[in-house]
Each structure stands twice: as structure tokens, then as C-alpha cells.
Structure 1
Amino acid sequence: MNTPSPRRAWCAAVLGCLVVPFATAGTLSLDTATNLAVRRTPLLDARRAQAESARQEVRRAGALPDPQLTVGIDNLAVQGPGAFTAGGDDMTMRTVGVTQVLPSSAKRGAQRQEARARVEVADADTVATALLVRRQAAEAWIAVSTAQDEIAALNAMHRSLEADVDVARARLRGGGSAGDVLAARASVLDVDNRTEAARGRLAQARAQLARWLGDDARDDLAEAPDYTRLLIDGDTLLGRLDDQAALLGWAPRERLADAALAGARAERHPDWSIGASYGSRVRGLSDMVSLQVGVSLPLFTRNRQDRGVAARLAEVDAIHDAHEDARREQKAMIQAALADWRSLGEQVRRQHDDVLPLAEDRGTVALAGWRGGGDIQPLLQARRDELAARLDDVRLRADQARAWASLAFLLPQGTTP
């Protein structure tokens, strides 16, 4: 009975956290969307197949090479009456033998080390891919939610402008200006065009979400999570860089480079071989048995094995330095994302608490002025400004959501509320 390796058990546990059970409700939450994406994407199936391939390689790594069967004729005469005949000389033998090459234990150990490192790389790629799928599914969900919010804001403005058109027509019947009706109607048509464009963006966003969820992308969206609260605090993210998706594969790749270095150093160790053969001679003469032992001679290591060791050492240094650079890049990315998320949080708060109420008040004042006999243009401008403020609010909340998502799916245990 095979006992699962600690690395394999770790990978299974992490994926178990990523693919948690979800409830089939009438609405599609962001959490459900990300879990469905992980369950259904064929990309993860491909990564798991690659990991299984690497595990199969472990089982044969370090094994002895296949033995060699040899068949031939020894001591064949080339002159005289029995030339080139199997019975032409007493020394001629028909031989059959087996040879087994025995690579050094250092080489076989390096092969096993390399195979195990490849499993770690494949497992890390699987977990990183699962996190990437979750993030991309979340971004698609956010895009759908944003388009819906944009359409809702445009529809609300459409209703307000239609009410203005109705009032303008009523005033026209009482001797008001036909220009007011035309101006209000033009504003309605402008909003209708923008609404149609927003519907196009919604269709595109749903198509992208369907890339991960299939038909479930058509479901109504549930309420968005609280984007003002990070799932994992910034200090934890900055303190666990190597556990994040972008860096998960680097440590296994360093171990893979170390294994390649061990293999290069093992080339300095000689390989052995043993062989046995049986020789059959002409009738009346004794058959023969031969035993052989061979050893490779790494005599010119300076221009052969030492060059390989130097090359593998350079690769180890290169991967180590690249890992350090990736760690710094990831740290800078997190710091920038945290700053962006905090800034957007303040902008969303200010937009909601200050800008939107001000725009609504301006619209109320302009409407009162128009209904009191004033010109309609200040009202229409106030409507445009209010719509711009509402769409800016939608955009800012979408930017905040994307900044939140960029930080939510960095670590394997990150889940949405």
C-alpha cells in the first residue's frame, strides 16, 4: 500500500480549501462563481494530469537500466580451410550473454531527487493555476456586476428625463416652449444610446463569465461582498510572499536546479557493469563461460564533467537571483495594490457621501427653477452632471472591487465571504 507523500497531501489539502462546497441558490454570488470556476475549468484538469505524469516519473527514477542481451561468435577463423565457419577452429564459439550496467548510486540518487522536484513544481503550478482561475472568474463576475450597476444608473436617469419630457409637454400645451420638449427628448435619446452600449458591455462580461461557469453565468448575481474589508490583511500578505501564487513555483524550481547540479557532480563517479556469457564450441570440446566486470573512467573531468558542474552552478545562481527578483516584484505589487485599494476606498466614500448628494441637490434646485418658469438647460446640465457622478461612482466601485480581487486570491486559503 502506497503512502501519500507529504507534498502530495499538502497539495490535496490546498485544493480542497480552494474547491469548497457551494450552495445552488437562485442567485450567483462571487464566492460561488469562483468555486464553480475551479471545479469546471479544463485548465486545472490539465495541470493535474501534468502532476500525475510527474508522479509516475518518480516511480521509475533511479532504476537500473535494462540489461543487454548479446549474441555472437567468438574466435572465428579468417584463414585456412575452416575460415568463416562456426566449426572451422577449436577456439570458435557461439556465445550468448547478458550485461547489466550499474550507474553510480550518486547518479541514481540525483535522478530520484530531480523527479521529486518535478512533482513539487507540478503541484505548485496546479495550486497557482487554481488561484489564477479564481481571480479571473472573480474579475468576470465583477465586470458583470459593474455593467448591471451602470445600466441601473442609466435607467434611473432615463426615468427622470422621461418625467421631464412629460412636464415639458404639459407646459407646451399651456403655452410653454417647444424647444424644452426637444431638448429634454434629446437628452433621453442620449441616455438610451449609452444604455445600449452598457448592455453590450454586459453581454461581453457575461460571455467572459461563461468561459468559466458555462450556463450558470446567466444567473442573477447575488449581493457583492464587502470590498472595504480585505480577506487577508496587508501585513500577512507581505510576510508570506513565497506562499503566493506568483512565487509558489520558485522554491521547487530551485530544488530542481539543485538536483540537476547533483546529477552533474555525480557524473564524476564511475559507472560499473557486469556481464556473463556462455560459449558453445564444436562437439567434443568443452563449452566456455565468461564473466566480465567493467568500469567507466572519468579521466578528463576538467573539460567534461567539471564543465557540466560549472554550468549547473550557474543555473542555480540564476534561478536563485530570479527568485529574489520575483519576490521583490511581488512585494512591490502588493504594496502598490494595497495603496490603490486604500485610495479607491476613500474615493468611493467621498463619492457616495459628498459628490452624489451634491449632484442630487443641484438637480433638485434646477428642477425647481425650471418648474418655476426658468430655462430647461440648467436642469438638463444638472441631470448630465448627476448621471456623470453616478457613473463615476460605479466606475470607482468597480476599480475598488478589482483592487480587492487582486489581493483576495494571492494565498491558497483566501476565500470570499
Structure 2
Amino acid sequence: MNRWNISITAWLVLLPLISLIPAAYAAEDTPYSVEQTPAVLALDKAITLAEQSNPGLAQRRAQAEAMSALPSQLGSLPDPMISMGLVNLPTDSLSTSQEAMTQWQLGISQEIPFPGKLALKQQAAAERANASAFMTTEYKQQLIQYVTSYWWQLFYLEKTLAIISTNKTLLKQFIDIAETKYRVGHGLQQDVLLAQLELSKLLNREIELSSEREQVVIRLNTLLSRPTDTPIQLPAFQNIDTTLLEIKPIADILYLAKQNRPFLQQQKHLIAAAAEEKALAEKNLLPDFKVSAAYGLRQGNNLDGSDRSDMLSLQVGITVPLFADKKQKMAISQKNSELKQQHFAYQDSWNQVQADIANYMTQYEQARQQYSLLNTGILPQARQTIASMLSGYQVNKVDFLNLVRAQITLYDYETQLWLSVKTAKTALANLKASVGKDTFYE
């Protein structure tokens, strides 16, 4: 009779726990709650906020606008110079009519570079302006990459904190069962202590993840140019796209990257600018010109009593590359080396882009396969195992230590599931930044 009473008592404690399991796992779909209830921050909204308010991006946009104003300046002739003066004034009388050569003179002069030089200067500046514009786009894509990575990191932390909350509840129920069985003589005190130890470990992990969550919130708010203590709430789980699709082969993605990556396009424009500057250095061996004209107004009379006529002066000057070996030819050598440097820089950048893309694709594919295995195979089996072991523990067919270990293993699998989602989504964000666009799905 006493055995039946003990069994009934254990079942009364165990049944609420078994009924709690489905609700506990369903509760994981609710994001980790915070004390405040801020506006929901979806990923696309976070990206839009970053694009609109990030000061680093605004700085580079302003820099690109400034660079775009250079070509027209460098492609224009130097400003002409107007001069006015009194020429050949005698010092004995300071009279403007005493000497025939004394005159008030008004002149204008214009420097004229050898034909083609201004066009080369303008084209080189235009290429550098285009490079600056592509660098702005590159920074924008890197910004989106960081925002996306932090957003998915926050998603992972909130899902993990929700799982911890669920496991805390279950471990507390385990403790109640172990204590009940211990009181009626069918359990061991070490079972109670073991469950309490595992609960303490979860509490410690919760503290660590909560701190990490606060740090991610600070970093994300900084990218959005908001106060660092602005609370962030993610959308409900059912409104977050966690699907992981297959992507194109690496050859197709590398082709897309070569055509679309802003950093590579910037390098191409820098190569073009260096080529224009080299051509300009070669053209600097040719002379520049200076054309001047002056009108002289004379006063007084000629010996025959007639008025003195005014004077017109015309002059053409030409530069002589007298020190070409030390100056112009050395400049040509310099620009030739700079052009080689830009070609090597492009090749080095392209090699790095290929390595990054291969690395991110490997990360994504591994995480995608892990997610599929955990979601469709391991987790359903682990949950069924836990439910079966709970029933076996009630009739003393399962050791309490194995039951707790199984629950902790399930916790690990659940966190690995969302870690694989975070890893895959972060790899996709990195891949998008490396390619320059996101049309890399099959």
C-alpha cells in the first residue's frame, strides 16, 4: 500500500512537468523580454536607419561630392591676368608727357598649356572622383554587413536566453521531483544537488549572455547613430525569415563579384587615373605657352606738333624643359611606377575577394547543413528522448543523472540550432558585401 502511495505522489509531481514540456518549447518563439517596450526593430528598418544617419557614411558621401567638383576645375584654363601700370616715367620731372615712351599701359595675359594636357588632368580627376564614389558604396555595404551581423547576433542571444528560461523552469521541476522522491525514500540527495548545480550553471550562463546582449545593443545603436542605451526589441519570431536557401556555384558568384564589387571598381578607376597621370607626365615634356597683349596710352605731342599715337604690344612666351632629365623624365618614371602599383593593388584585392567569398560560402553551407540536421533530425529525437526518460525516471528505470544530462544535451542542441542560423545569416551578409549584390541564390 505504501508503494502505491509513493507512486501516486511521484506521478502527481511528474504530470505537471510533462505537460509543461510542449508549452516550454513553444515559449522559445517569444523573444527575450526587456523591461521597456521599445518600437520593434526589424532588420530592414535597422539597415535604413544606418543608411540615413550613420556619420561615417555621411562623411564619405560628402567626400565623394567634393571629389566630383574637381574635374571641371582641373580641366579649365588658368585664370587670365589683367595688369595696369605706368611705363617709362622719367624720374627727373615725373611728367607723363615729357618722354615719347611714357605711357599708361593696360595689359592681359593668358597661360595656355600644350593641347591635351588639360583634358588629361580633367580625365584623371574624373577617374579619382568615380573611385571615391565607389568607395562610398563600399563603405555603405560594409555598414550594412555590420548592422546585419549585429542584428542576427542579437537574435541568437535572445533565442538562447529564451531557451535558458525554459530550461530553468524544467530544472526547477526536476529539483521538485528529486526532492519529493528523496523525502519518500526513493531518491538520493545527490540527485537534488546535481539538479541545483546545473540550475546554477544556467543562471551563470544567463548572466553572461545578458551582458553580451547589452554589448551588442550598444554596438548596434552606435551604427544607427542613436544613444547607446536605446532599448531594442526584435520582431516576433514568426515574422523573422530564418530560411536558408541554396546559393549559386562559386564560379558564378566570383563572376558577379568581379562585375559588381565596389572596391574592385574603385581599384579599376584608380588604375585609369594613374594611366591618365602617366600620359600627362609624358606630355609635360612639351612646352606650355603664355600669350600677352598690352595697350599703351601716351600723352604729349610729337616734334611736329601732332598728338602721340597710342601703342599696342603683343607677346608670346614658351616654356623650355631645360632640366627634363631631372624633372619631367623623373616624373614619368614616378607615374609609371604608380601605375604598376595600382595594377598590383587590384590583383591583390581580387585575390583577397576570392578568398573571402570561398570562406563565407564554406561557412554558410556548413551552417545550413547543421541547421537542417538539427531541425529535422536531432532535436525532434532529443525531445522524444527527454519525454521518454521522464516517464522512465518516475518508475526508477532511468537514472536521474542521465535524465539531467539528456536535458542539458537538449539545451546544447537547441542553442546550436540558433547559432547555425546566426552563423549562416552572418556569412550571407559577409558574402553580399564581398560580391556587391545579393543575387547569388539559385
Mark yes or no: TM-score above 0.5: yes
Which residue number corresponds to residue 102 of structure 1?
112
Per the alignment, do residues 230 and 108 of structure 1 end up closer, same or farther by CA in structure 2, a change over 3 Å counting? farther
Letter in 2 for 1:248: Q
Matches within 5 A, 1:368-387: 368-373=391-396, 375-387=399-411
Per the alignment, do residues 416 and 46 of structure 1 end up closer, same or farther by CA in structure 2, a change over 3 Å counting? farther
Give the structure-1-normalised TM-score.
0.82
Which residue number corresponds to residue 293 of structure 2?
276
Q: CA RMSD in A?
A: 3.0
Matches within 5 A, 1:7-406: 27-75=40-88, 82=91, 85=94, 90-175=100-185, 176-213=187-224, 214=226, 218-222=232-236, 223-229=239-245, 234-242=250-258, 243-280=260-297, 283-284=300-301, 286=308, 287-364=310-387, 366-373=389-396, 375-406=399-430
Decide whether the 8 Å contact of 1:180 with 1:376 is kept in 2: yes
Moved more, 197-206 or 29-38: 29-38
Letter in 2 for 1:283: G
Letter in 2 for 1:338: M
- Determine helix, strand or coil for the equivalent of 2:78: coil
Letter in 2 for 1:273: K
Give the structure-2-normalised TM-score.
0.78
Decide whether the 8 Å contact of 2:370 with 2:420 is kept in 1: yes
Give the unaligned 5+ runs of structure 1. Answer: 1-25
Decide whether the 8 Å contact of 1:341 with 1:400 is kept in 2: yes
Per the alignment, do residues 84 and 343 of structure 1 end up closer, same or farther by CA in structure 2, a change over 3 Å counting? farther
| Alpha-carbon displacement from aligned partner over 1:328-385 (angstroms, at most 9, x marks no partner) | 2211221222122222222333333444345445544553443333653232222332
Alpha-carbon separation, structure 2, partners of 1:169 and 1:30: 46
Moved more, 153-162 or 86-95: 86-95
Letter in 2 for 1:139: S
In the TM superposition, residue 158 of structure 1 has moved relative to its aligned partner by 1.0
| Alpha-carbon displacement from aligned partner over 1:75-112 (angstroms, at most 9, x marks no partner) | 466xxxx5595667554445442211112221111121
Give the unaligned 5+ runs of structure 2. Answer: 1-38, 303-307
Alpha-carbon separation, structure 1, partners of 2:233 and 2:52: 17
Letter in 2 for 1:387: Y
Alpha-carbon separation, structure 2, partners of 1:125 and 1:381: 52
- Determine helix, strand or coil for the equivalent of 2:421: helix
In the TM superposition, residue 231 of structure 1 has moved relative to its aligned partner by 6.7
In the TM superposition, residue 27 of structure 1 has moved relative to its aligned partner by 4.5
Identity %: 23
